[in-house]
């Protein structure tokens, strides 16, 4: 079906409803001005084309961080591949999370927090969508599998920021947030990056428990008392409680943080997940199997580099060794 002819323009629907009033086009410069007026002190402001490794011309409509978000969504093969990468369970059914659904949930939680705190939503969303693009197949076991083959080891956050997403020429603040989203890394340089660090933990703690219940590994009685007392007994209540904890803690402290009671509940929730889900014998066995398979693939392609495709997702330079190229492909 073609668009409907309406004279000077075309309509998607013939029975188009009431029209809009006078339209004020909010181009990039107008919205940058609004950020200066509306965002909180300390929030990251969008500026022209942004701070990029390779300078670019500004987009007339989108801010620099909106462009980053769009590049990850539309241009990052690694982002689309998250749909085939497990979150926790090696053989997820269609009711369980993948790395892609995890990234989307992190983005929703992070943007909700940033919006309430008056931070830059587009930067927050870009970091959240890109934060796990460096993950290999099979969850965190892939880090154990790949680390022996690289002098610097393998950290999914660094690999995502410095290798996989490097061709997108993202802004330095976006790259920093992706590189440092893990709690074991240095603090992100922006409050938006710190929000994503909290949102990542909130998301995986809540949805991994829900997936474990769905898979019959746990039942709801395993929910720590600290969580039910602080937040409630449903997924929406947990997420709402932890989001509120970040908003309240940040408001009180003046920097991104979580109030004590929900922070203790989140810690108890995560500790239970480790004991009952991540470190259960079946999970550890699956992890060992993943390591064996991935290492066999890396060694095969390192020994037979002619079998690698012309370009890999990591786009290693021509000077990269065979192991680096094999890891990038696998």
pLDDT at 2: 80
Closest CA relative to residue 155, chosen from 194, 118, 173, 181: 181
pLDDT tens digits for range 68-111: 999 999 989 999 989 877 655 555 555 578 899 999 999 999 99
| pLDDT tens digits, one per residue of 114-146 | 999 999 999 999 999 999 999 988 877 888 899
Q: Which domains does the chain have, with CATH numbers?
A: 25-329 (1.10.3210.10)
Q: What is the pLDDT of residue 29?
A: 96
φ, ψ of residue 190 in degrees (nearest 5): -125, 155
How does pLDDT run across 159-204, given as a tens digit for each residue? 999 999 999 999 999 999 999 999 999 999 999 999 999 999 999 9
pLDDT of the residue at 317: 47
Nearest C-alpha neighbor of 108 from the set 246, 243, 237, 227: 243
Q: 274-324, pLDDT tens digit by residue?
A: 999 988 888 888 889 888 989 999 999 999 888 888 765 555 544 478 888
Residue, of 150 and 281, whose pLDDT is higher: 150
Please check whether residue 292 is in contact with residue 148, taking contact to mean a CB–CB distance below 8 angstroms.
no
Residue 254 CA to residue 234 CA, distance in Å, equals: 30
Q: SS3 of 132, please?
A: coil
């Amino acid at each position: 079906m073609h668009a409907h002819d309406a004279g000077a323009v075309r309509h998607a629907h013939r029975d188009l409803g009431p029209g809009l009033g006078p339209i004020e086009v909010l181009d990039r410069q107008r919205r940058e001005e609004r950020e200066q007026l509306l965002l909180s002190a300390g929030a990251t402001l969008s500026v022209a084309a942004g701070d990029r490794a390779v300078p670019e011309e500004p987009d007339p409509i989108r801010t620099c961080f909106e462009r980053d978000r769009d590049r990850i969504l539309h241009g990052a093969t690694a982002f689309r591949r998250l749909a085939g990468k497990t979150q926790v369970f090696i053989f997820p059914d269609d009711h369980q999370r993948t790395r892609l659904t995890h990234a989307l949930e992190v983005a929703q939680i992070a943007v909700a927090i940033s919006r309430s705190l008056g931070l830059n939503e587009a930067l927050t969303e870009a970091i959240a969508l890109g934060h796990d693009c460096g993950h290999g197949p099979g969850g965190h076991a892939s880090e154990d599998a790949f680390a022996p083959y690289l002098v610097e080891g393998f950290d999914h956050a660094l690999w995502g920021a410095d290798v996989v997403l490097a061709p997108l020429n993202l802004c330095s603040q976006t790259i920093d947030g992706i590189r440092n989203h893990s709690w074991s890394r240095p603090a992100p340089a922006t409050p938006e990056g710190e929000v994503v660090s909290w949102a990542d933990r909130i998301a995986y703690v809540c949805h991994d428990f829900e997936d474990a219940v769905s898979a019959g590994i746990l039942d709801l009685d395993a929910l720590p008392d600290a969580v039910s007392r602080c937040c409630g007994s449903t997924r929406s209540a947990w997420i709402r409680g932890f989001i509120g904890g970040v908003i309240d803690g940040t408001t009180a402290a003046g920097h991104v943080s979580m109030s004590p009671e929900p922070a203790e509940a989140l810690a108890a929730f995560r500790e239970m997940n480790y004991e009952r889900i991540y470190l259960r014998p079946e999970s550890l066995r699956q992890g060992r199997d993943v390591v064996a398979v991935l290492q066999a693939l890396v060694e095969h392609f390192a020994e037979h580099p002619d079998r690698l495709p012309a370009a890999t997702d990591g786009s290693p330079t021509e000077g990269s060794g065979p192991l680096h190229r094999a890891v990038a492909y696998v």
